[in-house]
Amino acid sequence: MKILVAGGAGFIGSHVQDAYLALGHEVVVIDNLYTGRKDFVNRDCRFYEVDIRDAESIVEIFERERFDVVNHHAAQMDVRASVADPVFDADVNILGGLNLLQASVKTGVKQFIFASTGGAIYGEQDTFPADENHLLRPVSPYGVSKLSLEKYIDFYAKTYGLRCFIARYANIYGPRQNPDGEAGVVAIFSRRLVSGEMPTINGDGKQTRDFVYVADVVEANVVVLDHGENSVLNIGTGRETDINRIFSILATTSGKSVEPHHGPAKKGEQRRSVLDNRRAKKILGWVPSTDIREGLEKTYAYFSMEEETIR
Ligand code: NAD
Protein backbone atom coordinates (compact mmCIF):
# COMPACT_ATOMS: atom_id res chain seq x y z
CA MET A 1 0.00 0.00 0.00
CA LYS A 2 1.03 3.60 -0.37
CA ILE A 3 0.79 5.37 2.98
CA LEU A 4 1.17 9.00 3.96
CA VAL A 5 2.46 9.64 7.48
CA ALA A 6 1.69 13.27 8.34
CA GLY A 7 3.97 14.25 11.22
CA GLY A 8 6.35 11.41 10.32
CA ALA A 9 9.39 13.41 11.48
CA GLY A 10 8.02 13.44 15.02
CA PHE A 11 8.33 11.05 17.94
CA ILE A 12 5.43 8.60 17.31
CA GLY A 13 5.02 9.22 13.56
CA SER A 14 8.67 8.36 12.83
CA HIS A 15 8.30 4.96 14.53
CA VAL A 16 5.07 4.34 12.61
CA GLN A 17 6.83 5.24 9.34
CA ASP A 18 9.66 2.75 10.11
CA ALA A 19 7.17 -0.05 10.87
CA TYR A 20 5.19 0.52 7.67
CA LEU A 21 8.40 0.48 5.60
CA ALA A 22 9.55 -2.73 7.30
CA LEU A 23 6.27 -4.33 6.25
CA GLY A 24 6.99 -3.45 2.62
CA HIS A 25 4.63 -0.48 2.24
CA GLU A 26 5.56 2.59 0.24
CA VAL A 27 5.73 5.48 2.71
CA VAL A 28 5.62 9.23 2.14
CA VAL A 29 6.18 11.67 5.01
CA ILE A 30 4.98 15.24 5.28
CA ASP A 31 6.13 17.42 8.17
CA ASN A 32 7.03 21.09 8.63
CA LEU A 33 9.69 20.19 11.24
CA TYR A 34 7.95 22.34 13.86
CA THR A 35 8.99 19.86 16.56
CA GLY A 36 10.02 16.99 14.29
CA ARG A 37 13.56 16.17 13.17
CA LYS A 38 14.69 15.56 9.61
CA ASP A 39 17.06 12.82 10.79
CA PHE A 40 14.06 10.85 12.09
CA VAL A 41 12.71 10.58 8.54
CA ASN A 42 13.70 7.22 7.11
CA ARG A 43 15.84 7.43 3.94
CA ASP A 44 13.49 5.01 2.26
CA CYS A 45 10.61 7.50 2.52
CA ARG A 46 9.82 10.34 0.19
CA PHE A 47 9.80 13.48 2.33
CA TYR A 48 7.94 16.74 1.75
CA GLU A 49 8.73 19.60 4.11
CA VAL A 50 5.31 21.17 4.12
CA ASP A 51 2.82 22.66 6.54
CA ILE A 52 -0.55 20.87 6.75
CA ARG A 53 -2.15 24.35 6.83
CA ASP A 54 -0.96 24.94 3.26
CA ALA A 55 -4.08 23.56 1.52
CA GLU A 56 -2.79 24.10 -2.01
CA SER A 57 0.46 22.20 -1.50
CA ILE A 58 -1.37 19.43 0.35
CA VAL A 59 -3.78 18.85 -2.53
CA GLU A 60 -0.89 18.91 -5.02
CA ILE A 61 0.97 16.23 -3.05
CA PHE A 62 -2.16 14.07 -2.70
CA GLU A 63 -2.91 14.33 -6.42
CA ARG A 64 0.66 13.44 -7.36
CA GLU A 65 1.06 10.57 -4.88
CA ARG A 66 -2.45 9.00 -4.71
CA PHE A 67 -2.31 7.47 -1.23
CA ASP A 68 -4.28 4.41 -0.12
CA VAL A 69 -3.97 5.32 3.56
CA VAL A 70 -3.40 8.58 5.45
CA ASN A 71 -1.95 8.29 8.94
CA HIS A 72 -2.29 11.67 10.65
CA HIS A 73 0.13 12.31 13.51
CA ALA A 74 0.96 15.97 12.76
CA ALA A 75 -0.15 18.34 15.50
CA GLN A 76 0.49 21.26 17.75
CA MET A 77 0.51 19.16 20.91
CA ASP A 78 1.68 21.53 23.62
CA VAL A 79 -1.24 22.03 26.04
CA ARG A 80 0.20 25.24 27.50
CA ALA A 81 0.82 26.66 24.02
CA SER A 82 -2.82 25.90 23.20
CA VAL A 83 -3.93 27.91 26.22
CA ALA A 84 -1.64 30.80 25.28
CA ASP A 85 -2.69 30.80 21.62
CA PRO A 86 -5.91 28.86 20.93
CA VAL A 87 -6.11 30.30 17.41
CA PHE A 88 -2.76 28.80 16.41
CA ASP A 89 -3.73 25.50 18.01
CA ALA A 90 -7.03 25.38 16.10
CA ASP A 91 -5.32 26.47 12.89
CA VAL A 92 -2.94 23.49 12.95
CA ASN A 93 -5.08 20.86 14.66
CA ILE A 94 -8.48 21.61 13.14
CA LEU A 95 -7.90 23.44 9.85
CA GLY A 96 -4.69 21.51 9.06
CA GLY A 97 -6.53 18.25 9.75
CA LEU A 98 -9.41 19.36 7.54
CA ASN A 99 -6.99 20.00 4.68
CA LEU A 100 -5.87 16.37 4.94
CA LEU A 101 -9.47 15.13 5.06
CA GLN A 102 -10.51 17.24 2.06
CA ALA A 103 -7.52 16.07 0.01
CA SER A 104 -8.25 12.47 1.07
CA VAL A 105 -11.81 12.43 -0.28
CA LYS A 106 -10.75 14.34 -3.39
CA THR A 107 -8.11 11.75 -4.31
CA GLY A 108 -9.80 8.50 -3.24
CA VAL A 109 -7.91 7.69 -0.03
CA LYS A 110 -9.40 4.50 1.47
CA GLN A 111 -8.47 4.79 5.14
CA PHE A 112 -7.76 7.71 7.47
CA ILE A 113 -5.99 7.05 10.79
CA PHE A 114 -5.94 9.84 13.38
CA ALA A 115 -3.81 10.17 16.52
CA SER A 116 -6.23 11.63 19.06
CA THR A 117 -5.92 11.81 22.82
CA GLY A 118 -7.71 10.13 25.70
CA GLY A 119 -6.46 12.16 28.66
CA ALA A 120 -7.04 15.60 27.13
CA ILE A 121 -10.56 14.91 25.86
CA TYR A 122 -11.99 12.98 28.82
CA GLY A 123 -10.69 15.64 31.24
CA GLU A 124 -11.00 14.88 34.97
CA GLN A 125 -12.31 11.34 34.96
CA ASP A 126 -15.42 10.10 36.77
CA THR A 127 -14.46 6.44 36.33
CA PHE A 128 -11.10 4.66 36.35
CA PRO A 129 -10.12 3.51 33.82
CA ALA A 130 -12.13 5.65 31.38
CA ASP A 131 -13.71 3.78 28.49
CA GLU A 132 -14.67 5.32 25.14
CA ASN A 133 -18.16 6.23 26.42
CA HIS A 134 -16.81 8.44 29.18
CA LEU A 135 -18.08 12.02 29.08
CA LEU A 136 -15.97 14.25 26.87
CA ARG A 137 -14.91 17.28 28.89
CA PRO A 138 -11.71 18.72 27.44
CA VAL A 139 -10.23 21.39 29.67
CA SER A 140 -7.74 22.89 27.21
CA PRO A 141 -7.96 24.27 23.66
CA TYR A 142 -5.71 21.34 22.66
CA GLY A 143 -8.34 18.86 23.93
CA VAL A 144 -11.07 20.85 22.19
CA SER A 145 -9.21 20.89 18.87
CA LYS A 146 -8.50 17.14 19.00
CA LEU A 147 -12.14 16.42 19.79
CA SER A 148 -13.29 18.73 16.97
CA LEU A 149 -11.24 16.84 14.42
CA GLU A 150 -12.71 13.58 15.73
CA LYS A 151 -16.18 14.99 14.99
CA TYR A 152 -15.14 16.14 11.51
CA ILE A 153 -13.69 12.70 10.82
CA ASP A 154 -17.01 11.16 11.79
CA PHE A 155 -18.69 13.52 9.31
CA TYR A 156 -16.29 12.49 6.50
CA ALA A 157 -16.79 8.80 7.33
CA LYS A 158 -20.57 9.09 7.17
CA THR A 159 -20.77 11.47 4.22
CA TYR A 160 -18.01 10.17 1.95
CA GLY A 161 -17.50 6.61 3.16
CA LEU A 162 -13.90 7.32 4.19
CA ARG A 163 -12.87 4.41 6.46
CA CYS A 164 -11.63 5.98 9.66
CA PHE A 165 -9.74 4.94 12.75
CA ILE A 166 -9.44 7.27 15.70
CA ALA A 167 -6.83 6.25 18.26
CA ARG A 168 -7.27 7.94 21.63
CA TYR A 169 -3.76 7.69 23.01
CA ALA A 170 -2.87 7.61 26.68
CA ASN A 171 0.64 8.91 27.59
CA ILE A 172 3.11 7.60 25.06
CA TYR A 173 6.81 7.34 25.89
CA GLY A 174 9.94 5.90 24.32
CA PRO A 175 13.00 6.69 22.20
CA ARG A 176 12.88 9.92 20.12
CA GLN A 177 10.39 11.67 22.41
CA ASN A 178 11.24 15.36 22.68
CA PRO A 179 12.79 16.05 26.11
CA ASP A 180 12.47 19.81 25.65
CA GLY A 181 8.68 19.88 25.52
CA GLU A 182 6.34 20.70 28.41
CA ALA A 183 5.02 17.11 28.54
CA GLY A 184 6.78 13.81 28.14
CA VAL A 185 7.89 13.29 31.72
CA VAL A 186 9.84 10.12 30.83
CA ALA A 187 11.91 11.93 28.20
CA ILE A 188 12.44 14.93 30.48
CA PHE A 189 13.56 12.82 33.46
CA SER A 190 15.74 10.55 31.28
CA ARG A 191 17.58 13.44 29.65
CA ARG A 192 18.17 15.12 33.01
CA LEU A 193 19.45 11.96 34.67
CA VAL A 194 21.72 11.15 31.73
CA SER A 195 23.28 14.61 31.86
CA GLY A 196 23.72 14.48 35.64
CA GLU A 197 21.00 17.03 36.40
CA MET A 198 18.32 16.57 39.02
CA PRO A 199 14.79 16.10 37.63
CA THR A 200 12.05 17.98 39.45
CA ILE A 201 8.85 16.17 40.36
CA ASN A 202 5.88 18.56 40.26
CA GLY A 203 4.00 18.49 43.57
CA ASP A 204 3.81 15.26 45.59
CA GLY A 205 4.39 13.05 42.52
CA LYS A 206 1.31 10.98 43.28
CA GLN A 207 -0.45 12.14 40.13
CA THR A 208 -0.95 9.15 37.83
CA ARG A 209 -0.85 8.56 34.09
CA ASP A 210 -1.32 5.58 31.80
CA PHE A 211 2.11 5.11 30.20
CA VAL A 212 2.25 3.19 26.91
CA TYR A 213 5.52 2.25 25.25
CA VAL A 214 5.80 3.59 21.70
CA ALA A 215 6.37 0.14 20.11
CA ASP A 216 2.96 -0.95 21.39
CA VAL A 217 1.36 2.15 19.87
CA VAL A 218 3.08 1.39 16.56
CA GLU A 219 1.60 -2.12 16.69
CA ALA A 220 -1.89 -0.61 16.98
CA ASN A 221 -1.17 1.54 13.88
CA VAL A 222 -0.11 -1.62 12.04
CA VAL A 223 -2.99 -3.95 12.94
CA VAL A 224 -5.54 -1.29 12.10
CA LEU A 225 -4.49 -1.36 8.42
CA ASP A 226 -6.38 -4.66 8.11
CA HIS A 227 -9.37 -3.40 10.03
CA GLY A 228 -12.44 -2.82 7.89
CA GLU A 229 -14.66 -0.90 10.30
CA ASN A 230 -14.74 2.71 11.46
CA SER A 231 -13.76 2.84 15.10
CA VAL A 232 -12.74 5.03 18.00
CA LEU A 233 -10.49 3.16 20.40
CA ASN A 234 -8.49 3.92 23.51
CA ILE A 235 -4.84 2.98 23.16
CA GLY A 236 -3.68 2.61 26.73
CA THR A 237 -2.61 -0.05 29.19
CA GLY A 238 -5.44 0.27 31.73
CA ARG A 239 -2.75 0.69 34.40
CA GLU A 240 -1.98 3.79 36.43
CA THR A 241 1.60 4.63 37.31
CA ASP A 242 2.50 7.61 39.45
CA ILE A 243 5.32 10.02 38.73
CA ASN A 244 7.25 8.98 41.85
CA ARG A 245 7.44 5.42 40.47
CA ILE A 246 8.62 6.66 37.07
CA PHE A 247 11.36 8.65 38.81
CA SER A 248 12.35 5.72 41.00
CA ILE A 249 12.66 3.22 38.10
CA LEU A 250 14.62 5.69 35.96
CA ALA A 251 16.89 6.66 38.87
CA THR A 252 17.65 2.97 39.56
CA THR A 253 18.23 2.35 35.84
CA SER A 254 20.69 5.26 35.73
CA GLY A 255 22.76 3.70 38.50
CA LYS A 256 23.19 7.18 39.99
CA SER A 257 22.42 7.95 43.57
CA VAL A 258 19.79 10.66 43.30
CA GLU A 259 17.13 11.69 45.72
CA PRO A 260 13.77 12.87 44.38
CA HIS A 261 13.40 16.64 44.35
CA HIS A 262 9.85 17.97 44.58
CA GLY A 263 8.85 21.38 43.21
CA PRO A 264 5.51 23.18 43.42
CA ALA A 265 2.48 21.41 41.95
CA LYS A 266 1.47 22.52 38.45
CA LYS A 267 -1.73 24.53 38.60
CA GLY A 268 -4.67 22.79 36.94
CA GLU A 269 -2.75 19.56 36.36
CA GLN A 270 -4.98 16.47 36.07
CA ARG A 271 -4.63 14.21 39.09
CA ARG A 272 -5.37 10.82 37.58
CA SER A 273 -5.64 9.59 34.02
CA VAL A 274 -6.00 5.99 32.85
CA LEU A 275 -7.69 4.45 29.81
CA ASP A 276 -9.72 1.28 29.49
CA ASN A 277 -8.29 -0.70 26.55
CA ARG A 278 -10.77 -3.57 26.46
CA ARG A 279 -12.48 -2.36 23.30
CA ALA A 280 -9.14 -2.24 21.41
CA LYS A 281 -8.42 -5.77 22.62
CA LYS A 282 -11.81 -6.99 21.43
CA ILE A 283 -11.94 -5.17 18.10
CA LEU A 284 -8.31 -5.19 17.00
CA GLY A 285 -6.88 -7.99 19.12
CA TRP A 286 -4.38 -5.33 20.24
CA VAL A 287 -2.70 -5.81 23.62
CA PRO A 288 0.19 -3.67 24.87
CA SER A 289 3.00 -6.06 25.72
CA THR A 290 5.79 -3.87 27.11
CA ASP A 291 6.14 -3.80 30.86
CA ILE A 292 6.77 -0.32 32.28
CA ARG A 293 10.21 -1.23 33.67
CA GLU A 294 11.35 -2.69 30.35
CA GLY A 295 10.02 0.34 28.43
CA LEU A 296 11.72 2.80 30.77
CA GLU A 297 15.04 0.93 30.54
CA LYS A 298 14.91 1.02 26.74
CA THR A 299 14.06 4.71 26.79
CA TYR A 300 16.88 5.53 29.21
CA ALA A 301 19.32 3.55 27.03
CA TYR A 302 18.25 5.64 24.03
CA PHE A 303 18.87 8.95 25.83
CA SER A 304 22.25 7.71 27.09
CA MET A 305 23.24 6.87 23.53
CA GLU A 306 22.04 10.30 22.29
CA GLU A 307 24.19 11.99 24.95
CA GLU A 308 27.21 9.92 23.86
CA THR A 309 26.71 11.02 20.24
CA ILE A 310 26.52 14.69 21.24
CA ARG A 311 29.77 14.48 23.23
P1 NAD B 1 5.67 15.31 18.00
O2 NAD B 1 5.62 16.76 18.30
O3 NAD B 1 6.97 14.60 18.13
O4 NAD B 1 5.09 15.02 16.53
C5 NAD B 1 4.24 15.92 15.86
C6 NAD B 1 4.81 16.12 14.46
O7 NAD B 1 3.94 16.99 13.75
C8 NAD B 1 6.20 16.81 14.48
O9 NAD B 1 7.09 16.13 13.64
C10 NAD B 1 5.90 18.22 13.97
O11 NAD B 1 7.01 18.81 13.31
C12 NAD B 1 4.72 17.95 13.06
N13 NAD B 1 3.91 19.15 12.82
C14 NAD B 1 3.46 20.04 13.75
N15 NAD B 1 2.76 21.03 13.16
C16 NAD B 1 2.76 20.75 11.83
C17 NAD B 1 2.21 21.39 10.70
N18 NAD B 1 1.52 22.54 10.81
N19 NAD B 1 2.42 20.86 9.47
C20 NAD B 1 3.13 19.71 9.33
N21 NAD B 1 3.67 19.03 10.37
C22 NAD B 1 3.49 19.54 11.60
O23 NAD B 1 4.57 14.63 18.92
P24 NAD B 1 4.16 13.11 19.18
O25 NAD B 1 4.26 12.87 20.63
O26 NAD B 1 4.87 12.21 18.23
O27 NAD B 1 2.61 13.17 18.82
C28 NAD B 1 2.11 12.69 17.58
C29 NAD B 1 0.59 12.77 17.61
O30 NAD B 1 0.07 11.97 18.67
C31 NAD B 1 0.03 14.18 17.84
O32 NAD B 1 -1.09 14.35 17.01
C33 NAD B 1 -0.39 14.19 19.28
O34 NAD B 1 -1.46 15.08 19.53
C35 NAD B 1 -0.82 12.73 19.46
N36 NAD B 1 -0.74 12.31 20.87
C37 NAD B 1 0.48 12.13 21.46
C38 NAD B 1 0.53 11.71 22.79
C39 NAD B 1 1.85 11.48 23.50
O40 NAD B 1 1.83 11.05 24.66
N41 NAD B 1 2.98 11.75 22.90
C42 NAD B 1 -0.64 11.49 23.52
C43 NAD B 1 -1.86 11.70 22.88
C44 NAD B 1 -1.89 12.08 21.54
Nearest ligand 1 atom, CA 146: 34
Strand partners, 4: 28, 70
User: What is the model's pLDDT at position 35?
Assistant: 97
**71-83 confidence digits (pLDDT tens):** 999 999 999 999 9
From 142, 169, 173, 300, active-site residue: 142
User: Which of 99, 28, 117 has its CA nearest to residue 59?
Assistant: 99
**162-182 confidence digits (pLDDT tens):** 999 999 999 999 999 999 887
**Does residue 142 carry a catalytic annotation?**
yes
Q: Which residues of 226-258 are buried (b: 16+ CB within 10 A; e: fewer)?
A: ebeebbbbbbbbbbbbbbbbbbebbbebbeeeb
Q: Is the CB of 236 under 6 A from ligand 1?
A: no
Mutating to test ligand 1, I would choose from 14, 29, 31, 275 the residue with most ligand atoms within 8 A of its C-beta, which is 31
Give dist(CA 243, CA 207) in Å, integer.
6
Under 8 Å between Cβ of 110 and 163: yes
Mean pLDDT, rounded, for 99-105: 98
State the pTM of this model.
0.98
Q: Is the CB of 12 under 6 A from ligand 1?
A: yes
Nearest ligand 1 atom, CA 51: 19
Under 8 Å between Cβ of 281 and 220: no
Give dist(CA 301, CA 233) in Å, integer.
31
Mean pLDDT of the chain: 96
Tell me how far the alpha carbon of residue 116 lies from the centroid of ligand 1, in angstroms: 10
Nearest ligand 1 atom, CA 14: 26
**220-230 confidence digits (pLDDT tens):** 999 999 998 99
Tell me how far the alpha carbon of residue 258 lies from the centroid of ligand 1, in angstroms: 32
Q: Which residues contact 298 (CB under 8 A, 6 or more apart)?
A: 174, 175, 213
